[in-house]
Chain A
Amino acid sequence: MADDYILELDDVSKFFGTVIALQGVTLRLKRGEVHCLLGDNGAGKSTLIKTLAGVHLPSSGTYRVDGEEVRFNSPREALDRGIATVYQDLALVPLMSVARNFFAGREPRKKLFGVIPVIDMNYANETARDKLAEMGIRVRDASQPVGTMSGGERQCLAIARAIHFGAKVLILDEPTAALGVKQSCNVLKLIHQARERGISVIFITHNVHHAYPIADSFTLLNRGQSMGTFSKKDITKEAVLDMMAGGTEIQSLVDELEGRAA
C-alpha cells in the first residue's frame, strides 16, 4: 500500500525553540495527484513545505519518499530525489535572459574547438523556448531578459524549468498569490498539464477558489495541526471554505454586517 504514495509525512512535528510550528502532521501525496495544502497565515504551510523541500529536518516523525525513509540535510538532496520546490521569489534574475535563467546552475555545455567548454547557447535558447511553448507560453525570444515577462509567465518559466530538470514532485508555494485572474488560470492549467505528465504536485494556497477546481485532495492546516486530508469527492467547496480558519470568521463578519448579531 505504501507504494501508492510518492511522499509521506507521518506524524511530523517541528519545533523552533518553544514555538510549535507543526504538531503531529500527517500528509500523504499519491502518485500523479494534485494535492492542495490549505491554511491561513501562520498555519504552518511554509514550515511544512520547507520540511518537504529539505530545508528543515523534522523534529519528530518520519518522512518517506517512495516508501523509503529519508532525512534530507539540504534542498540539494531533495532535488536529487526529484522533489523540486518553486518558491514565491521564483529564483529568477530579471536582468538575465530567459534561456540563461532557465539553465542557471545547470548550463548545457559543448566543446569549442574540441577543448574549451562553453555554454551551448543555441541549445539553451531552443530548449527554453520549446519547453515554454509546451506550457502554452510563446516566448518572443529566449534571449530577452526575464524582466520583460509578466508575473504569470515568470511563474510558468520557473515551473517549466523544474519539470525540465526531472522533477517528479513539484511543490508550488502560493503560485497564484500575486497574479491576476487570467494569469492564475494559466498557472492552474499548467498544474493540470504537470499532472497529465505524471508529476505529483503539492499546491500551497489560501485561495479555495484556486484550489478546488484543480485539486484531487486537500489537506487543511490550522495553527500547526492538520485538520485532515479529504478527497475531492468527499467534500464540497463550501465545506472546505468553512473548515479554513477564514471561513467561519467571514461568515460571522457577514452576519454582523447584516445586523444578525451572533
Chain B
Amino acid sequence: MSAINQSVTTMIEQKPTDERVRKLSPWRILLDRPELGSIAGTVLVFAFFGIFAGGSGMFALDGIINWAQVAGYLGIIAVGACLLMIAGEFDLSMGSMIGFAGVMVAIPPMYLGWPLWAAVIFAFVGSMALGALNGYLVVRTKLPSFIVTLAFMFILRGLTLVLSTSFANSTIVSGIGDKFTDDPVISALFQGTTFHWLFNGLASMDLITKLPSGDPVVGGLPKVLVWWIVMALAAGFVLARTRFGNWIYTVGGDSNAAKNVGVPVRRVKISLFVLTAFCACLFGVLQVADVGSAAADRGLQKEFEAIIAVVIGGTLLTGGFGSVIGACFGALIFGVVQIGISYTNIDSDWYRVFLGGMLLLAVLFNHYIRSRAAATK
C-alpha cells in the first residue's frame, strides 16, 4: 500500500512542466493507435488456428505461402482502399475493375494481335483513366462516392461479361498464360515467384523443408507478396511522412477546412481514385499471370473484402483517421481465416459468418477507441 502511495507521489513530482499533463501508460498510448484492433485480431486468429490447425501443416512453409498469397492479393487493394477511405471516400468498383483489367490484358493479345506488354500498359492506363473518371464524377457532382462507384461496379462488371463473351464466346478468356511466359519483362514483373536463391540456400542448409528431389518445397516468394510489401511500404510512407499524406488526412477529416487552408481537395480525391484503380488493375494483372486466364467473375465482392480489411485495420468509415499497417493486418486476417478454415475440422461454410462477426467486432472496437482518442483527456 505504501509502495503504491510512494509511486503516486513520485509520479506527481515528476511533472514540473504542466500540471495538466497526465502521464499516459505505454498501454494507453498503444490503445490510441488505429492499428491496435487489427494486431489484436491477428494474434487472436493465429492463436485460434494454432490450437485448431496447429498440426495440420498450415504453419509449414507451403501452408504459410498459401494463406500469405491470399492475404497479398487482398492486401494490394486494401492499401488503395485504405488511403481512399482515410480521405473520406469509397470505391465500390474495385472488384469489378479487377475483372475488367483482366479482360483488358487478355483480349488484345489473344484476339487483336497486340503484344502482351502493350496490353498490360493499356490495362493500367485504362483502369487509371476510369479511376480518374470515378473521382471526377464524385468531386464534380458532390454525390456520395458510394453511389457513383456502385454504378461503376455494375457497368464494369457488365462490360467485362460483354467483352469476354463477344470475343471469346465464353466467360473465360484462356490461353494468355503462355504469352506471359514468353515476355521476359512482363513475366519478371508479374508472374511466378522470386528470391529463388534465398529459398534454395535455405533448403541446402536444411532450414526449410525439401522435396525428395532436393529442391525446396516452395521455390520462391510469390511476386504478389513482393508487390504487396512494396505498395504497403510506399503508401504507409506517403501517409505518415509526406505533404500529400497530410492532405489525405485533412481532406478526410474535414474537407471544408482543408479547402480553407489551401489543400487542393479535388486533386487529392481524384488521385486516390486513380490509386484504387491502379491497385485493382495490379490485382487483375497478377491474377491473370498466375492463373493463365481472365474471367468475367474475377474479383467478385473484392471491394467489400477490401473495405472490411481496411475497417478491421482501424480506419474510420467517415475518414480522417486510419492506418495502412492496420489494413495490411486486416488483409492478413482474411488470408489466414479463408485458408485456415479448410485446415481445421470446421465446416468452411462458416467462413462468412466469421468474417461478418469480425467486421462487427472491429467496428465496435474502433468506435470505442476513437471516442477515447478524440475525447479531452
Co-complex (A, B)? yes
Asked if B213 is at the interface (CB within 8 A of a chain A CB), the reply is no
- Whether the pair B246, A103 counts as a contact (CB closer than 8 A) is yes
Q: Which of A91-116 contact B (CB under 8 A)?
A: 91-96, 100, 103-107, 109, 112
- Whether the pair B256, A147 counts as a contact (CB closer than 8 A) is no
Provided the pairs A105-B262, A106-B261, A148-B376 are in contact, do residues A93 and B256 lie with their beta carbons within 8 angstroms? no
Chain A residue, CB-CB nearest to B255 = A93
Interface membership of chain A positions 119-163, coded 1 if the CB is closer than 8 angstroms to chain B and 0 otherwise: 101000000000000000010110001011110000000000000
Q: How far is the CB of B311 from chain A (nearest CB, A)?
A: 16
Task: Determine the chain A residues whose CB is within 8 A of the CB of B254 once the complex forms.
Answer: 91-93
Task: Determine the chain A residues whose CB is within 8 A of the CB of B370 once the complex forms.
Answer: 95
Task: Determine the chain B residues whose CB is within 8 A of the CB of A76 once the complex forms.
Answer: 262
Q: Out of A87, A107, A148, which one reaches B375, CB within 8 Å?
A: A148
Q: Out of B243, B245, B256, B375, which one reaches A89, CB within 8 Å?
A: B256
The docked-state distance in angstroms from the alpha carbon of A119 to that of B374 is: 23
Q: Out of A79, A91, A119, A138, which one reaches B243, CB within 8 Å?
A: A119
Task: Determine the chain A residues whose CB is within 8 A of the CB of B375 once the complex forms.
Answer: 147-148
Q: How far is the CB of A97 from chain B (nearest CB, A)?
A: 9
Q: Which of B137-183 contact A (CB under 8 A)?
A: none
Asked if A118 is at the interface (CB within 8 A of a chain B CB), the reply is yes
Q: Out of B21, B250, B373, B376, which one reaches A104, CB within 8 Å?
A: B250
Asked if B28 is at the interface (CB within 8 A of a chain A CB), the reply is no
The docked-state distance in angstroms from the alpha carbon of A194 to that of B234 is: 42
Interface membership of chain B positions 364-377, coded 1 if the CB is closer than 8 angstroms to chain A and 0 otherwise: 00000010011111
- Whether the pair B246, A119 counts as a contact (CB closer than 8 A) is yes
Provided the pairs A75-B260, A89-B257 are in contact, do residues A96 and B20 lie with their beta carbons within 8 angstroms? no
Asked if B253 is at the interface (CB within 8 A of a chain A CB), the reply is yes
Q: Which of B218-246 contact A (CB under 8 A)?
A: 241-243, 245-246
- Whether the pair A140, B20 counts as a contact (CB closer than 8 A) is yes
Q: Which of A149-200 contact B (CB under 8 A)?
A: 149-150
Provided the pairs A76-B262, A105-B262, A145-B374 are in contact, do residues A96 and B250 lie with their beta carbons within 8 angstroms? yes
Q: Which of B305-324 contact A (CB under 8 A)?
A: 316, 320-321
Most buried by B among A91, A145, A147, A150: A91
Asked if A117 is at the interface (CB within 8 A of a chain B CB), the reply is yes
Q: Out of B18, B245, B250, B374, which one reaches A105, CB within 8 Å?
A: B250
- Whether the pair B250, A93 counts as a contact (CB closer than 8 A) is yes
Task: Determine the chain B residues whose CB is within 8 A of the CB of A112 once the complex forms.
Answer: 241
Q: How far is the CB of A126 from chain B (nearest CB, A)?
A: 15
- Whether the pair A145, B373 counts as a contact (CB closer than 8 A) is yes
- Whether the pair B374, A93 counts as a contact (CB closer than 8 A) is no
Task: Determine the chain B residues whose CB is within 8 A of the CB of A100 once the complex forms.
Answer: 246, 249-250
Interface membership of chain B positions 346-377, coded 1 if the CB is closer than 8 angstroms to chain A and 0 otherwise: 00000000000000000000000010011111
Q: Which of A189-216 contact B (CB under 8 A)?
A: none
Task: Determine the chain A residues whose CB is within 8 A of the CB of B64 once the complex forms.
Answer: none
- Whether the pair B258, A104 counts as a contact (CB closer than 8 A) is yes
Q: Which of A62-79 contact B (CB under 8 A)?
A: 75-76, 79
Chain A residue, CB-CB nearest to B261 = A105
Task: Determine the chain B residues whose CB is within 8 A of the CB of A75 once the complex forms.
Answer: 260
The docked-state distance in angstroms from the alpha carbon of A141 to that of B245 is: 21
- Whether the pair A95, B374 counts as a contact (CB closer than 8 A) is yes
Asked if B129 is at the interface (CB within 8 A of a chain A CB), the reply is no
Task: Determine the chain A residues whose CB is within 8 A of the CB of B260 once the complex forms.
Answer: 75, 87, 91
Task: Determine the chain B residues whose CB is within 8 A of the CB of A95 once the complex forms.
Answer: 249, 253, 316, 320-321, 370, 373-374
Asked if B125 is at the interface (CB within 8 A of a chain A CB), the reply is no
The docked-state distance in angstroms from the alpha carbon of A150 to that of B376 is: 8
Most buried by A among B250, B260, B263: B260
The docked-state distance in angstroms from the alpha carbon of A150 to that of B17 is: 19
Task: Determine the chain A residues whose CB is within 8 A of the CB of B243 once the complex forms.
Answer: 107, 109, 117, 119
Task: Determine the chain B residues whose CB is within 8 A of the CB of A141 once the complex forms.
Answer: 21
Q: How far is the CB of A100 from chain B (nearest CB, A)?
A: 6
Q: How far is the CB of B113 from chain A (nearest CB, A)?
A: 42
Q: Which of B288-341 contact A (CB under 8 A)?
A: 316, 320-321
Q: How far is the CB of B265 from chain A (nearest CB, A)?
A: 10
The 5 listed contacts between A and B (C-beta, < 8 Å) are: A93-B253, A117-B243, A118-B242, A138-B17, A150-B376
* Interchain residue pairs A-B with the least CB separation, the first 3: A93-B253, A105-B261, A147-B374
A residues near B (Cβ < 8 Å) are 75-76, 79, 87, 89-96, 100, 103-107, 109, 112, 117-119, 121, 138, 140-141, 145, 147-150
Known: A94-B374, A105-B262, A140-B18. 17 other contacts (CB 8 A): A75-B260, A79-B262, A92-B254, A93-B253, A93-B254, A95-B249, A95-B373, A104-B250, A104-B263, A105-B247, A105-B261, A106-B261, A106-B262, A107-B243, A118-B242, A138-B17, A148-B375
